DNA sequence: TTATCTGCAAAGCCTTTGCGCAGAT
DNA sequence: ATCTGCGCAAAGGCTTTGCAGATAA
């Protein structure tokens, strides 16, 4: 759960951003975004749907999906798993990092030694057991950057 | 592409592991694994299917999926995107890291300051543009660890 | 020979899309 | 009043499943 101060701040940002982009401030959108903003458990669309349903029984799953998409485009939301479209496989069993292109979703291996060692400065929450760790680098790959110079600034 | 020395090594390991687990060493499996092991581009099942098809035109996509699953269970393969089943959302737009439970797929936020700063010691490949970076920590969450003590060793 | 695997086809999610009515600006 | 968004239902893509014939052990 999220503190109510942070929630208020997020909802205010949401309201402002809707106005900025000319997005209609509908009841459904407000409830959907509040469900997202008050969670720190990285819910699925289905999970949001279930929660929103308690307040708006007539809500449809399609509306939830459409708005998640809208919010993501508006920069109000991020996908935790950029590569969720389809399974991606790796036969390289050694430690290495991944660079994921946000445009074309290509994954490029980055050798372990090219990144400063991942080190926990604080222990994990009680009872958590770490198996392994890697860096996920997000950006634009060379061929996408070449084909769309705007992307090179990192200001999307 | 992968050097032929590494490919040979991977294929040998594959053969040995099949024997070890009593997996039938079929032609299809060999070709499928070779397609995986000779790529460093993290192909999708569909991509593997297309490639294998050139050598075994009668191969079916179902067989590719089944074997990918078998290989993953055997530890011969890893999924790049553990969370590909369904979209996961994050309304926390600040920098933070993620701990992903390999059992239940729960995602837990790790504050940015709890991990040593992610720093590139080597530049990215030419033309690549970095937007942001985060650590992906894989392991078992507290509630899964509690319900299955075996997992606490990290030796799965 | 016996157990396992393959190919095929059907079914099962998750997600997107199109359309007519309802609601926001 | 106009434009955008919502609910519904159908369709689309990725993945899994069941079964009969084929192949490895």
What CATH number did the domain enclosing A63 receive?
1.10.10.10
Residues A64 and A101 in one domain: no
Q: How many domains does chain B have?
A: 2
Residues B11 and B76 in one domain: yes
Alpha carbon A18 to its chain's center:
19
Closest to B60 (Cα-Cα) out of B71, B45, B72, B42: B45
* A101-143: pLDDT as tens digits: 999 999 999 999 999 999 999 999 999 999 999 999 999 999 9
- CA gap B132, A100 in Å, rounded: 10
State which residues form the domain around B102.
94-152
Give pLDDT tens digits along chain B (156 positions).
899 999 999 999 999 999 999 999 999 999 999 999 999 999 999 999 999 999 999 999 999 999 999 999 999 999 999 999 999 999 999 999 999 999 999 999 999 999 999 999 999 999 999 999 999 999 999 999 998 766 555 443
Whose tokens are 């991020």? That residue is A78
* Beta-carbon contacts below 8 Å between A and B: 247
Q: Calculate mean pLDDT across residues A67-85.
A: 97
Is position B133 within any domain? yes
Structure tokens at B111: 């504050």
Q: Are A27 and A53 in contact (CB under 8 A)?
A: no
End-of-domain residue from the set B24, B46, B80? B80
CATH number at residue B143: 3.30.1490.190
Residues B121 and B73 in one domain: no
Whose tokens are 């993501």? That residue is A72
Closest to A98 (Cα-Cα) out of A121, A114, A86: A114
Q: Which residue has the higher pLDDT, A147 or B66?
A: B66
- Taken as a whole, chain B contains a residue count of 156
Confidence of residue A150 (pLDDT cuts 50, 70, 90): low
CB < 8 Å to B156, chain A:
131
Residues A109 and A135 in one domain: yes
> In this model, does residue A152 exceed pLDDT 90?
no
Which three-class secondary structure state does DSSP give residue B68?
helix
Residues B73 and B104 in one domain: no
Closest to B149 (Cα-Cα) out of A39, B140, B137: B140
Q: What is the pLDDT of residue B149?
A: 65
> In this model, does residue A149 exceed pLDDT 90?
no
Is position B87 within any domain? no
- CA gap B95, B142 in Å, rounded: 23
Is position A66 within any domain? yes
Q: What is the pLDDT of residue A155?
A: 44
Is position A86 within any domain? no
End-of-domain residue from the set A47, A80, A113? A80
**Tally of CB atoms within 10 A around A53:** 16
Q: What is the pLDDT of residue B155?
A: 43
Residues A64 and A113 in one domain: no
Alpha-helix runs per DSSP H in A56-148: 61-73, 142-147
Of A42, A81, A122, the CB nearest to B114: A122
Structure tokens at B25: 């060493």
Residues A16 and A54 in one domain: yes
Is position B72 within any domain? yes
- CA gap B59, B40 in Å, rounded: 22
**Tally of CB atoms within 10 A around A122:** 10
C-alpha angle B34-B35-B38 in degrees, rounded to nearest 5 = 75
Residue B155's Cβ-count burial label (10 Å; 0-12, 13-18, 19+) is exposed
User: Chain C positions under 7 Å from a protein CB?
Assistant: 4-10, 14-18, 23-25
Is position A142 within any domain? yes
Confidence of residue A1 (pLDDT cuts 50, 70, 90): confident
Residues A110 and A74 in one domain: no
Q: What is the pLDDT of residue A146?
A: 93
User: Chain D positions under 7 Å from a protein CB?
Assistant: 4-10, 14-18, 23-25
Whose tokens are 């372990």? That residue is A112
Mean pLDDT of chain A: 95
Which residues neighbour strand D (beta carbon < 7 Å)?
A 22-24, 26, 28-29, 56, 58-60, 62-63, 66-67, 70, 85-87; B 18, 22, 24-27, 44-46, 61-62, 65-66, 69, 84
Q: For residue B31, what are the CA distances in angstroms to A76, A117, B19, B44? A: 44, 36, 16, 15
- CA gap B25, B12 in Å, rounded: 12
Structure tokens at A107: 């994954």
Closest to B134 (Cα-Cα) out of B76, B85, B70, B90: B90
CB < 8 Å to A124, chain B:
99, 110, 137, 139
């Amino acid at each position: 759960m999220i503190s109510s101060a942070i929630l208020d701040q997020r909802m205010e940002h949401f309201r402002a951003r809707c106005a900025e982009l000319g997005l209609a401030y509908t009841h459904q959108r407000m409830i959907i975004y509040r469900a997202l903003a008050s969670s720190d458990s990285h819910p699925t669309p289905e999970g949001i749907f279930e929660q929103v349903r308690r307040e708006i029984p007539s809500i449809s799953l399609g509306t939830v999906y459409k708005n998640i998409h809208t919010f993501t485009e508006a920069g109000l939301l991020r996908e935790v798993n950029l590569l969720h479209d389809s399974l991606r496989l790796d036969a390289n069993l050694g430690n290495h990092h991944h660079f994921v292109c946000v445009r074309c979703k290509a994954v490029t291996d980055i050798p372990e030694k090219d990144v400063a060692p991942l080190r926990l400065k604080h222990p994990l929450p009680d009872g958590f057991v770490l198996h392994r760790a890697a860096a996920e680098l997000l950006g634009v790959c060379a061929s996408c950057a070449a084909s769309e110079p705007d992307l090179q600034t990192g200001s999307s």
